[in-house]
Structure 1
C-alpha cells in the first residue's frame, strides 16, 4: 500500500530512448540549436557509421532528432539536429539522473 507523500524513484523518469551510450551522447552533442553533418558527429562521438546511423534512426522514430539530406560537391550528405521534443525529453532525462545522484544512499524519497 502506498504511503502518504510517496514519490516513485526518479529512475522511473528515465527515458529508454537514451539508454544507449551513443544515443545519449548524440543528444548531448546536438545541444540547443546545434546541427552537425554525419561525418562531424561520427568524429565527435568516436563511433562507426553503422552505430551512428542506427542511433539517428532510433531518435528520428522517437521524433527527438531531424535528419535532412543534401548534396555537397556531388555527394549526398546528412545533417542532424535535435527537435524541441528531443531537447525537452533529454533535459527531463538529465534531471532524473541528477535526482538519482542526489538521493545517494538516502532511504527517503
Structure 2
C-alpha cells in the first residue's frame, strides 16, 4: 500500500494521519505524564508528580498552569499538618482529552505495527 492509497480513519479525522489527532497541549511529555498520573488517583500531590516526572518545581508549575488554563486539571492548595501542599485533580475535560490522546496513539501504533495473522496448526 502506498502512502497515497492509505485511507485509514482515525477518530474525528477520517483520512488524515493519526498524528493529526494528537493534541499539543496534552501530548507534551510532562503534561501527558501529569494527566496519566492524575487519572490513576482521585488527586495527586505536587511533590509526588515532581518526583515521578523528574522535573523542577518551576517546570512542573509551568506545565500545571497550561493544563489548568485549558480546564484539564484543577489545583487545590491547602496544608498537610503545617506544610503547604498543592493537589492536582483531573477534570472531566482532562479525562476526555487524555482518552482522545490515547486513541490517537493507539491508531498510530496500529498503523505502524499492524497485528500479525494468527498461525494455525501446521503453519
TM-score (norm 2): 0.74
Q: Which has the higher contact order (CA 8 A, sep 6+)?
A: 1
Answer yes or no: is 1:23 the counterpart of 2:22: no
Number of aligned residues: 103
Tell me how far 1:105 sits from its aligned partner: 7.4
Q: Which 4+ stretches in 1 moved above 2 angstroms?
A: 71-76
C-alpha root-mean-square deviation of aligned residues, in Å? 2.1
CA gap of 1:72–1:35, structure 2 versus 1, over 3 A, is same
Find the partner of 2:85 among 48, 65, 77. Answer: 77
Query: What is the match of residue 62 of structure 1?
Result: 70
List alignment gaps of at least 5 residues for structure 1.
Answer: none
Distance 2:64 2:89 in 1: 10
Distance 1:45 1:96 in 2: 22
Q: Which has the larger radius of gyration?
A: 2
List alignment gaps of at least 5 residues for structure 2.
Answer: 8-13, 115-123
Contact 2:50 2:56 in 1 (8 A): yes
Once the two structures are overlaid, the 10-residue window that deviates more, 72-81 or 94-103, is 72-81
